[in-house]
Every structure is written in structure tokens, then in C-alpha cells.
Structure 1
Amino acid sequence: MTRDRGSASLWVAMAATTICVVFAAVLAMGQAVVARHRAAAAADLAALAAADHALLGSADACRRAVDVASAQGAEVVRCALSGGIADVTARAAFGPYAPTVRARAGPPLTTLPPGGGEAVP
């Protein structure tokens, strides 16, 4: 008999453990990426809604941002309006992750006249 008897079981157990650890790490990274994308999408949509309502002269533009973000499964952490520009920070929880993402929306600073030409402020 050789002294290697039973070593294959040990190698299989170590390989299985390594595969499980790698799989768990990949799942955790995937969950973090999904959480970040959800927060970014909610912040973008909330900022667009707030900017749209601010340009229309609505006094409750930030309330609209909160409604849009909550419909996306997120919460608005901060909403600030400066003229027609909305600056929204949203947080979306997914699993153990809750990233916070900031988005801004509003009219362009310069617009082009019809038919092209130079930008007019």
C-alpha cells in the first residue's frame, strides 16, 4: 500500500470549497452592480421628473422626484433645485447593498438656433 491513499478525497474537497468561494464572490459582485444600476436609474428618472416640473413652474418638483424614485424602489436622499436644474441623490437597497447615486437634469446651457449656426446662451 502507498501513503497516498485517500488524497484524492482531500483534493476534491479543496476544489469544491474553492469553487464555492469563487461563486459566492461573483454573486456578491453581481448584486453590488445591480444595486448600483438600480440606484442610478432611479436617480436619473427622479432628476428628470424634478427638472421637468420645475421648468413648468410647479412648486412640488422635489415631491415628484420622491414619487418617481419610490416607484423605482428607491428613496430620495437629497433634492435641490436651482432654476430649472434638479440635483437629486437617490439610494436603492438590493440585498445587503444600498448605494447612493447623484444625478442632475435640466435644460441645456446653450441652444442652437434653427438651421444651425453658433450657440446662443
Structure 2
Amino acid sequence: MAGDGGGGGPGPPGHGRHPACRRGGPRGGRGGRGSAVTGRRARRGGWGSAVTERRARRGGDRGAATVWAAFAACALCVVFGVVLALGQAVATRHRAGGAADLAALAAADRALWGEAEACAAASRVAAAQGAELARCAVRDGVAEVAARVVRGPYRPEVRSRAGPPGRAPLPERAPGTAPGPPSGVP
């Protein structure tokens, strides 16, 4: 294979991909005088000799995109896991809040029958909501309860109060006006 500039390696003369082809010839076996490579490749220095030389000086960057893609995929997985954990914590907190509200309403409904009966009703309602009753107290017809939901590492405890509606304050009247419906009401 003398005179082909390929250095005697396998493949077509002057292809420049085999290590042996990179030796020999005035331009490293790629597009030199006597090479089978002609035309544009011969004029610009062969099979990307400038790019190959730059990569050799840098130490090469082959496979760098794969490494970056792997790191990006790992980072996205971590972010996805954090978002899922946060969503589970928020959902558990809302479940505990709903259970506490319903248990307080059940206890307030039974408040006139005694604290034991009111707290038993609150406990049943909390259990039906997938929660446990942490505290229960009934004073003057107002029930105060705390419900806890356990889901994985999350144990939120939410307090709630319920009781008879209080008397709403009357709107203030200007002096000298007669009692009646507020202005603007027909």
C-alpha cells in the first residue's frame, strides 16, 4: 500500500480512521501528496485533521454529553422525589385538618350529652377519616379536638374547635334612626 498515504492499515486507502493510517505521509496520512483522497478533503487537510489535533491537545471530550445527560437525569430524579415527598406531606396535613374539623363538629353535636359521649363520637369520626384523636375537651358546649394522621414519616396534628353559633353583633345605627332592616335592603 505504498504511496497511498494510509500507512498500510486496513480499509480504503487514506481513510484516516485506523491508528496506523494516522502515521506516514507529509500530513499524517490524510490528504497528502500521493494520497487517494482528492478534491475538497485534500484541500482542507483530510479527514478533520484540525479538529483531531484540537481534541488531542484538550485530552478529548468524547462521551462528555453522555456524562452531562446522566447528571441531568439524576438531578431531575432528585427534584421529582422532593416534589413527591412535599405533595405527600401536604396531602397528609389536609387529611388531618379535615378529620379534626369533622371530629370537632361531631363532638359539638354531642356536647350536651357529656364530654365522654362527645369525645367517643369524635373518636369514631376521626377513625372513619383515617386519623386518630389526639386530644378532646368539651367546655360550655364548645368542643376542642386535635386529630393526627400518620402517613410514612409524616405525623401532622391539627387542632379544631366547634360549638354553637355565637350571637352576631348588631350593626351600629346612627343616633336618631329607627330600628329596622339595614339600609339598601328593600
Bucket of the pairwise TM-score, normalised by the shorter protein: 0.7 to 0.9
The 8 Å contact of residues 31 and 95 in structure 1, kept in 2 or not, is answered as no
Name the structure 1 match of 2:155.
Answer: 98
How high is the sequence identity, in percent, across the aligned residues? Answer: 57
Q: 1:81 and 1:116, CA in 2 relative to 1: closer, same or farther beyond 3 A?
A: farther
1:53 aligns to 2:110 (yes or no): yes
Name the structure 2 match of 1:44.
Answer: 101
Q: Which has the higher contact order (CA 8 A, sep 6+)?
A: 1
Give a deviation string over 1:5-41, Cα, whole Å, max 9, x none. 1101110110000000000000000000000000000
One-letter amino acid of the counterpart of residue 148, structure 2: R
1:67 aligns to 2:152 (yes or no): no
Mapping of residues 15-26 of structure 1, within 5 Å: 15-26=72-83
TM-score using structure 1 length: 0.87
Q: 1:97 and 1:52, CA in 2 relative to 1: closer, same or farther beyond 3 A?
A: same
Output the CA distance in 2 between the equivalents of 1:52 and 1:91. Answer: 21
Q: Which runs of 4+ in 1 moved over 4 A?
A: none
More helix by share: 1
CA RMSD of aligned residues (A): 1.8
TM-score using structure 2 length: 0.58
Output the CA distance in 1 between the equivalents of 2:158 and 2:144. Answer: 11
More strand by share: 1
Give a deviation string over 1:51-70, Cα, whole Å, max 9, x none. 0111xx21210010000000
Length, aligned pairs only = 114
1:82 aligns to 2:139 (yes or no): yes
One-letter amino acid of the counterpart of residue 69, structure 1: A
One-letter amino acid of the counterpart of residue 68, structure 2: W
Q: 1:15 and 1:71, CA in 2 relative to 1: closer, same or farther beyond 3 A?
A: same
Gaps of 5+ in 1: none
One-letter amino acid of the counterpart of residue 141, structure 2: G
Q: CA deviation at 1:98?
A: 1.2
Gaps of 5+ in 2: 1-51, 171-179
Output the CA distance in 1 between the equivalents of 2:89 and 2:138. Answer: 30
